[in-house]
Every structure is written in C-alpha cells, then in structure tokens.
C-alpha cells in the first residue's frame, strides 16, 4: 500500500482514512500498557478483527480496495468486488463476537452451517490450499450431526 512497514501510520493524515486511526491508537496503548516496545509488527498483530473488516467498508472502497483485493488472489475475477468480500467478513465478525461473548450460536444450525461453508470459501480466496487442509482436521460436520441427533432436530 505505502511501501512502509508502518503503512497504517499514514491513516492519521490521509483524508478519508483518519477515522481508522483510533484502532492504531488503541493498539499502541495496549502494547505500551504491557511495557513493550512499539514496532510495526506488534501494532499489526494488535489490531482487532473489527479494524481489518472495516478496511473493506464501502466508505474506503475508492482509497483501499485496489490494494486490498490482492489479499484475495484466488477469488474468481468475476466476483472480485469489495462488497463480495466485505459482506461475508462482516458476517464472520458478528458471528465471532457472539461466540466470544458466550451467546448461543445454535439458534439456527442451518445458518451456522452456511457461515462455516462461507468461511472456508473466503479462506480459499486468500490461500487455495486452506480448504483442503481444513478437511483433514475440521470436525464441524460431525459436531453438527451430533447436535442434531442429541436435540432431535
């Protein structure tokens, strides 16, 4: 994007991106609060899922999508539009937040299965090997089948 390790540092002074700077400020505060040195790699690691997903918001499309689309090299070209990445990632973020806040996620097991399938597709857009690797270790279908059996669904 900027050719810098701290590419996010330009957000504060870039018209249209300055609103994203609060994520950077928060990451810096958390690192400093642990009495660690603030490095670009630590800041990037500290950034929240909300930050990464927000980069794909429509308000940033003109400024960021041209560069961000390269993160999805295996997405079919006909589908390679910001909204086709943003929508599932926002779904994942919302779903992840429900899980992290100990909310029930089995309210609609069919929807949970759809989200799982969609996650695998999106990961495949970034790395085409990931779906195959996941097949070796993913127990999701077995767990869902057990839930359906135990609940009598």
Domain parsing of the chain, residue ranges: 71-151
Residues 21-57: pLDDT tens digits?
999 999 999 999 999 999 999 999 999 999 999 999 9
**Predicted pLDDT at 79:** 96
**Predicted pLDDT at 104:** 86
**Predicted pLDDT at 17:** 93
Backbone angles phi, psi at 17, to 5 degrees: -115, -10
Residue 55 burial class via C-beta count within 10 angstroms: exposed 0-12, middle 13-18, buried 19 and up: buried
**Predicted pLDDT at 2:** 64
Rounded Cα distance between 59 and 53, Å, is 12
Helical spans, DSSP H, in the chain: 21-33, 40-46, 49-54, 66-68, 82-100, 109-126, 130-137, 140-151
**Predicted pLDDT at 85:** 98
* Reported pTM: 0.86
**Predicted pLDDT at 132:** 97
Those residues of the chain that have pLDDT short of 70 are 1-2
């Amino acid at each position: 994007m900027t050719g810098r390790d701290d590419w996010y540092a330009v957000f504060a002074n870039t018209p249209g991106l300055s609103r994203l700077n609060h994520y950077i400020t928060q990451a810096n505060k958390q690192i400093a609060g642990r009495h660690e040195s603030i490095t670009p790699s630590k800041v990037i690691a500290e950034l929240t899922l909300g930050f990464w997903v927000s980069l794909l918001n429509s308000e940033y499309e003109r400024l960021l999508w041209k560069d961000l689309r390269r993160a999805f090299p295996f997405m079919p070209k006909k589908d390679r539009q910001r909204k086709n990445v943003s929508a599932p990632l926002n779904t994942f973020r919302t779903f992840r937040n429900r899980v992290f806040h100990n909310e029930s996620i089995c309210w609609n097991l069919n929807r949970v299965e759809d989200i799982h399938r969609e996650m695998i597709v999106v990961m495949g857009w970034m790395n085409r090997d990931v779906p195959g690797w996941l097949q070796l270790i993913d127990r999701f279908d077995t767990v869902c089948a057990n839930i359906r059996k135990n609940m009598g669904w």
